[in-house]
Structures are given as C-alpha cells and as structure tokens.
Amino acid sequence: MSATLKKTKKSTIGRHPERGSYDRAAAHAILDEGLVAHVGFDTGDGVIVVPMTYARLGDEIVLHGAAASRWLSSFAEGRDISICVTLLDGLVLARSAFSHSMNYRSVVAFGRAVLVEDDERKGVAFHALLDHLVPGRWEDCRQPNRKEIDATTVLSMRLDEASVKVRSGPPKDAAKDMQLDYWAGVIPLALQAGSAIADPDMPDARAVPAYLASYTR
C-alpha cells in the first residue's frame, strides 16, 4: 500500500490546509485509537449518517453496526460511503471568540463499501472488530457459531482516498488581542475508561481478567 493517501477533489482539505495531511500512517494511528466511525451514504431518499463500530485491517476498514443494518442489503453490489473518525483532545479558549477552536485528530475517508461474504474473511473481521474494542477479548469469549456468522453483516472499504486533520496546542490569537485581559488556554478532553462493572447475572463472583483490569484509553 502507498504511504500517501489519495488526494482528490473531495479529499483535499480546504480550510486550514496546514492542519491537514495525506499520510497513511497518521490515518492508521487515528483509526486505531477511535471506537466509533460515523458513516454517511445516500439511502436513495437522501443522505444518512450513522454510528458504526469498525476496525482496521491493513489498508481495509471493516464496519459493523446495527444502526445501519436496515440499509445493509443495499450494499450487496457495493455503495459509495464516507467515513469520519474524530478524536477530541481539547477545547481551545482564545482571547477572541473568533479564535476559539478545538484540538482534535480526524480522518475523513471515501470509498466503496462492499459486503464481506466469505466465511474466512468474515471470521477475521469479527476477530478484528472485537480486539479493536478490547485487545485480547476475542480469545476470552464464545466465538460465533454458524447461525451467528450468517446473522451478522460486515462491510469492508479500502482505505485509499482520505485526509487527516489535526489541531493541537494552545490558542492562536491575533497579535492585537494578545494583551487582552481574558484567560486563554486549553481544557484537555479525553475519552476515559472506568473500572469494569461485572454483569449482576454472573453466576459467581469472579476476578476481572488482567487484560480488562489494565484496560485504559
């Protein structure tokens, strides 16, 4: 796969091009950290955006989501989609209202999503989807049976045409505003995991497995 993502009319960054890149490794890092992708496509009756879980497999993104399943049959012959994954890193408070911003890392990708139908590839996708949420989980649960494999729809899209956008660091006020008497800076934001909560229906008290006890985000 190419180290650079495809820059097209759609994937070219307009505003703040200095925050953008077409670097595949940067896109991979953001995709690997995110948990939810927002996926948009034309339903034939207008555009819809739905949240889906996903995982990256090399230069492929696999997607799964109940919210989209009503539309999934229409993917049998492939369907053009856009995927956006956004990580929020902070609120950027400038001296001027105008210069307020957010620190974030995002990927916007375009491609043709197709149904994954081959059993072996579907199995690889399930494994990736689970281990993307919690590394190690796939080996510590009952793996899908025939009926469950058939009942689960997975989409795949090649990551090729995409852009990355990142803002970080302190606010950037205009020079004339720097002496204004307002507090300026950043409030950091991060998605954080709390302590694991056992299912109250678990038949016996059991220790939280090590890979969960040490789970952080």
Which of 44, 39, 42 has its CA nearest to residue 154?
Answer: 39
Of 28 and 99, CB closest to its own copies: 99
104 binds its own copies (CB under 8 A): yes
- Within 10 angstroms of residue 153's Cβ, the number of other Cβ atoms is 19
* 76 in contact with its own copies (CB under 8 A): no
The answer to whether the beta carbons of residues 106 and 87 sit under 8 Å apart is: yes
Residue 74 in the binding site for its own copies (CB under 8 A): no
Of the candidate residues 6, 7, 28, 137, the single one contacting its own copies (CB under 8 A): 137
Helix or strand or coil: residue 170? coil
Query: Does 136 engage in binding with its own copies (CB under 8 A)?
Result: no
Q: Which of 126, 155, 164, 166: binder of its own copies (CB under 8 A)?
A: 126
Q: Pick between residue 3 and residue 202 the one whose CB is nearest to its own copies.
A: 202
Say if residues 53 and 81 touch (Cβ distance below 8 Å).
Answer: no
Distance, CA of 132 to CA of 8 (rounded, Å):
29
**61 near its own copies, rule: CB under 8 A:** no
Q: Quick check: 26 binds its own copies (CB under 8 A)?
A: no
Binding test (CB under 8 A) with its own copies, winner from 47, 120, 146, 214: 47
Q: Which is nearer to its own copies, 108 or 155 (CB)?
A: 108
Instruction: Compute CA distances 88 → 20, 30, 50, 192, whole Å.
Output: 16, 11, 18, 12
Candidate list 9, 18, 120, 146; residue touching its own copies; CB under 8 A: 9
Task: Using the minimum distance from each CB to its own copies, give the nearer residue, 3 or 203.
Answer: 203
Does 170 engage in binding with its own copies (CB under 8 A)? Answer: yes
Nearer to its own copies, 3 or 29 (CB): 29
Q: Is 205 in the site for its own copies (CB under 8 A)?
A: no
Residue 120, Cβ density class (10 Å: 0-12 exposed, 13-18 middle, ≥19 buried): exposed
Determine the residue type at 209. Answer: P
CA distance 10 to 203: 53
